[in-house]
Amino acid sequence: MILEQSFSEFYLPVEKAVYVVADQMKIESDKKNDLSFYLDGKSFRSKMFELLHLQNFELQYDDKDLDEAVHFLHCFGSILHFDVPALNDVYFFNPQWLCDILLFMMRIIRSQANAFVKINDIKQSLDVERFPISKGIELLDSFDIAVKLSENELFVPSFLSENEVNTCEKDLQNEIYRRQYLMPFVPTGFWSMLIKRIRVDKNLFEALSRCFGLKATTGLHSDNTASSENLDKIKIEDIINWTCWKTGIEISCFGIRLLRICELPSKVAFYGSNYPLISEIVSSSESSFVNKKAVVEIMVPFVYITIGKYESQISGQGNSITDNTSNIKITSITYDNHLVACRVLVTAVDCIDKLLSDWFSKFSVKCVKRVSYCNLCIQSAIEENNSRSRSFNLSLFEFEHALDCLKNKKDLICPFHENLVDIKKVFPDLINTISALISIIRQAQHGFVKSKSCTTNLLDTLDLISTSLENGKPVDVIFLDFARAFDTVPHKRLLLKLAAYGISGLTIKWIEAFLKNRKQRVVLGENVSSWAEIISGVPQGSVIRPLLFVLFINDFPETLKNISMLYADDAKIMNEMISYKSTVSLQADLDRASK
């Protein structure tokens, strides 16, 4: 309690000085009606020490003591000072005036009738000279009243609609990736923070941009190629529509859904179910998490939209001059964009996982389960919905269970279908992770890469040597072999390298889980050593083992100045020997490689 704390005698003269400045400001404000009740940091300190000197107060205190006094007076409402980077240099002498200004700003924001507000609209309604609008916005942001998304956009969570919004048709017959988060309740502030993260996530915008293709036309009904200046890239921000409410987000384009994240109504199994859940759910684990009360679902259709950008000619009256006006239209829609849909799903999952980890870490570990339904069960449930049946069966799979199956080369099994569940459709991010990792591998590597082999490595080497010899230039080659290569890869360094390549979210967690919690011991006759944790090496028995090693040495060619070729843990460094400098360069590469 502040009342129970002792305080310095210095606080009282500082309080008197604050009141003197506040009274002076009020008098000036009544005269001119254009003075604000605040000072910047430099002016504040100068004014305070000047008034303290007039009170015959000994100047034995420094800036630190003044800061402590301001903090104490802030708690009592004598002065307002917020110790955050954006507001640290502003001191408000009239708390009521500040509250009135912020209330006025909120009225302006409210008049926009939208949760997303342009900052320029606020500036047009306020006198910039009377009040630092940027500081007011930072103040609103610090209290999460209005969250600053960019230099010209605010997000006001309290203005979000209470009701669920549906701007698109329930295109459930088309293929969709789904992911659900089961939890006992949705934490306070979850949706406002998620909307903020989703709205500014560059990776999401990059993924969504791949849902579109641009086709230039010369008219609304023509497919001929338009002029080259008409082929400029359409900005994704200009054509997508954001719809947000207090428990969900939907991103669409011309009424076509690209992404939907929402909290499902009570007892509804998935978005699109017409009736409350009257079904049998079989969990893939022994836990009772299927009875969780809150469900947050991610939906990503496999949609690909081709956009036609055409020029319509508008003739001016009385002359032959025409103006070219650029317009856009949708020329085709397909639902086979699996890889891009997977990328959008991974990005959305990453945003939610990071939010849960940053703000609700204990809650996330203990109470949140990441699950997905059997795709065949979902199809059957949709058919039952269309036939107005009120009962259907669903098989639920936990992410960790699917990960364990993938690691141990097991299959997902649904008790309601004879066929095995296709893990690519239930957890596509697990399968496509391997494809994403392979795409990072450099051209110099021929081992464990599709369409490359020991033969391609040999042919490329022979081609380079024969070409040089035909030109009368000898070639020196150094053959290298990484000793105990697969067993000496440090786990921490491997994870850091993968993170540097842009691997994040569930993908990096999956790889970390694959490497962690492994132990070994030595048995010699009847003697058995104690268990020791394995901190290096890539585990055997999986296709990802050689892939992880190849990624670990993926930057090896970057450290060399000469030509290099690799096949798994074998490498060659070579080049034409034109002069003594060539020999020195090759030796330098060998020295670097040995380190």
| Interval 44-69 mean pLDDT | 78
| Interval 96-111 mean pLDDT | 76
Q: What angle do CA 471, 475, 477 make, to 5 degrees?
A: 155
Lowest mean pLDDT among 198-202, 251-255, 440-444, 543-547: 543-547
Please report, for residues 262, 288, 519, 583, the alpha-carbon distance to residue 183 in angstroms, rounded to integers and kept in the order given.
Answer: 14, 11, 33, 64
Tell which wins on pLDDT, 160 or 220.
160
User: Does residue 419 register a pLDDT over 90?
Assistant: no
Name the band, by pLDDT with cuts 50, 70 and 90, for residue 322. Answer: very low
**Considering all CA atoms of the chain, what is the largest pairwise distance in Å, rounded to the nearest integer?**
106
User: Does residue 323 register a pLDDT over 70?
Assistant: no
Q: What is the mean pLDDT of the chain?
A: 78
Tell which wins on pLDDT, 348 or 517.
348
User: Does residue 94 register a pLDDT over 60?
Assistant: yes
CA distance 186 to 183: 7
Which of 132-141, 483-492, 553-562 ranks highest by mean pLDDT? Answer: 553-562
Lowest mean pLDDT among 247-251, 388-392, 395-399, 573-577: 388-392
Tell which wins on pLDDT, 127 or 588.
588
| Interval 531-557 mean pLDDT | 83
CA distance 197 to 187: 16
Lowest mean pLDDT among 119-123, 153-157, 440-444, 551-555: 119-123
Which positions ≥6 away from 419 have C-beta within 8 Å? 376
Tell which wins on pLDDT, 401 or 183.
183
Residues of the chain with pLDDT > 90: what percent?
Answer: 12
Name the band, by pLDDT with cuts 50, 70 and 90, for residue 479. Answer: very high
Lowest mean pLDDT among 63-72, 137-146, 259-268, 276-285: 276-285
Q: 180-197: per-residue pLDDT in tens?
A: 999 888 988 899 889 989
User: Does residue 1 register a pLDDT over 50?
Assistant: no
Phi, psi of 35 (to 5 degrees): -110, 135
User: Does residue 438 register a pLDDT over 80?
Assistant: no
Report which DSSP code applies to 429. H
Tell which wins on pLDDT, 436 or 575.
575
Interstrand relation of 563-567 and 532-533 (parallel, antiparallel or unpaired): unpaired
Name the band, by pLDDT with cuts 50, 70 and 90, for residue 227. Answer: very low
Q: 156-168: per-residue pLDDT in tens?
A: 888 888 887 777 7
| Interval 189-215 mean pLDDT | 85
Name the band, by pLDDT with cuts 50, 70 and 90, for residue 229. Answer: very low
pTM score of the predicted model: 0.65
| Interval 233-251 mean pLDDT | 81
Interstrand relation of 279-283 and 392-398 (parallel, antiparallel or unpaired): parallel
